[in-house]
A = this chain, B = another copy of it.
Amino acid sequence: MDTRVMTRQEVEGGVTAARGFAATGIHCGVKKAKADLALVVSELPASTAALFTVNRVPAAPVLVDRALMARSPYKRALLVNSGNANACTGERGMQDAWAMVRATADALGLDVADVLISSTGVIGQFLPIEKIERGIRAAADALSSEGSADAAEAIRTTDTFAKQYALTCEIDGKTVTVGGMSKGSGMIAPNMATMLAFITTDAAVEPALLQSALVRANERSFHRISVDGDTSTNDMVAVFANGASGARRLTSSDDPGYEEFEEALEHVCVELARMIVRDGEGATKFIEITVAGAASEEEAARGARAVANSNLVKTAIHGEDANWGRILAALGNADIAFDPARVEIRLGEVVILKRNFVIDFSEEEAAAVLALPEISISADLGEGTGEATFWTCDLSARYVEINANYRT
């Protein structure tokens, strides 16, 4: 029995579930009427780790955050606006991003190095910076230890629902909470829908160790989802650890409790990532793809990603067809080592391809699996012990409509 798992428990809330965090979400006027400004504040300086888009066209807030992280890995505040991504906005975009940082620091009595910011929404347009500055002052007055839902609401763009998740776990006998919020649902224009995720925890973790935990968790969660395979100019994942739980400070991966923290962080990231896929544009089916028996975890992940990004697999699932050939061909495109004759592919529990290309499954059983709203595809390559899971959604005519006719 895995006792570590037993200590994890889902709880209500998101970024304010952990002790010592307050948040809010308000309307400041970037959008016409909906909430568009989220503020998250930690009572104590929080060790902070962050990952940013690898797109060559990073938005201004990403550039500013990189500079802020270089100044200090301890943060007190996170400000996010939705409705405008402040991307492809040149010099003025940079000035506006710095103005957001300054306004946040001023409103909360902090140093600029204590702040991170993020923007999501349309690109190529300047921010209404005065509205945001006024909004920041209003948000600072509205902070609440129960504000997580409002914050999650305020970072939405094309998301059809707000996304938050939290759990508690035990680190060396103390209860620690990890919670977060995310947004993202594919693309809608003239925006590129950004994937954002912000996690707070009252665990105490050294910044460098927190960064490595985030890299690992991100690799197994946000990096393993895909709606349409594109990454945006503003993608960002950050975690803030303020130590308010009183649990022992984790300084090394050998510390008792570190493994539990690492798994709890991964768990929260996976839940937040899965919510993004569930909200995929035009999606009618949620698809979990597991590749096992690969030469390494990295090869398994590469294979699962290739299947998840295949338009042919995604349309076949949309059409509820047990097309093992498209799955096998997608694996064949993944540049990983395997012998096709040793591959076994399952849809749910139905083995649709046995070794040596033997096909003898019941079409009815496969049809029953394919009719479900959540479908698991698993492939065993028969090469080694590497395993990885990837999440995606089907490709529907509705996706095309949303992305072709967004202006009308």
Binding site for B on A (CB under 8 A): 55-57, 87-90, 123-124, 187, 189-192, 228-233, 309-312, 315-316, 318-319, 321, 323-326, 328-338, 340-341, 356-357, 359, 395-397, 399-401, 403-407
Inter-chain contacts of A405 with B (CB < 8 A): 319
- Contact between A400 and B395 (Cβ–Cβ < 8 Å)? yes
Cα A124 to Cα B323 with chains together (Å): 11
CB distance from A252 to the nearest CB of B (A): 34
A-B contact pairs, 17 of them (CB 8 A): A56-B337, A56-B338, A90-B356, A123-B329, A189-B325, A190-B323, A192-B325, A228-B312, A229-B309, A230-B311, A231-B333, A233-B329, A311-B403, A321-B404, A397-B397, A397-B404, A400-B400
Inter-chain contacts of A316 with B (CB < 8 A): 189, 403-404
Inter-chain contacts of A332 with B (CB < 8 A): 55-57, 233
Cα A88 to Cα B324 with chains together (Å): 10
- Contact between A407 and B229 (Cβ–Cβ < 8 Å)? no
What is the oligomeric copy number?
A: 2
Cα A321 to Cα B189 with chains together (Å): 10
Q: Which residue of B lies closest to A56 (CB)?
A: B332
CB distance from A227 to the nearest CB of B (A): 9
Beyond A90-B341, A190-B325, A312-B403: 15 further Cβ-contacts under 8 Å?
A55-B329, A55-B332, A56-B332, A56-B333, A57-B329, A124-B357, A124-B359, A189-B312, A230-B312, A233-B329, A233-B332, A315-B399, A316-B404, A319-B405, A397-B400
- Contact between B229 and A311 (Cβ–Cβ < 8 Å)? yes
CB distance from A93 to the nearest CB of B (A): 8
A57 in contact with B340 given A230-B329, A311-B229, A359-B124 (CB within 8 Å): yes
CB distance from A364 to the nearest CB of B (A): 15
CB distance from A404 to the nearest CB of B (A): 3
- Contact between B230 and A319 (Cβ–Cβ < 8 Å)? no
Q: Which of A55, A309, A331: most chain B CB closer than 10 A?
A: A55
Inter-chain contacts of A123 with B (CB < 8 A): 325, 329
Question: Which 7 A-B residue pairs are closest in the complex by CB-CB distance?
Answer: A319-B404, A315-B403, A57-B332, A397-B397, A55-B332, A56-B332, A57-B340
Cα A407 to Cα B363 with chains together (Å): 13
A88 in contact with B403 given A189-B326, A232-B329 (CB within 8 Å): no
Q: Which residue of B lies closest to A405 (CB)?
A: B319
Cα A5 to Cα B124 with chains together (Å): 42
Inter-chain contacts of A323 with B (CB < 8 A): 189-190
Pick the contact of A88: B231, B325, B337, B397 (CB < 8 A). Answer: B325
CB distance from A163 to the nearest CB of B (A): 22
Cα A318 to Cα B400 with chains together (Å): 9
- Contact between A333 and B230 (Cβ–Cβ < 8 Å)? yes
CB distance from A360 to the nearest CB of B (A): 12
Inter-chain contacts of A331 with B (CB < 8 A): 56-57
Cα A330 to Cα B56 with chains together (Å): 9
CB distance from A88 to the nearest CB of B (A): 5
Cα A27 to Cα B93 with chains together (Å): 65
Cα A189 to Cα B187 with chains together (Å): 28
Inter-chain contacts of A230 with B (CB < 8 A): 310-312, 329-330, 333
Cα A329 to Cα B332 with chains together (Å): 27
Inter-chain contacts of A404 with B (CB < 8 A): 315-316, 318-319, 321, 395-397
Cα A53 to Cα B291 with chains together (Å): 23
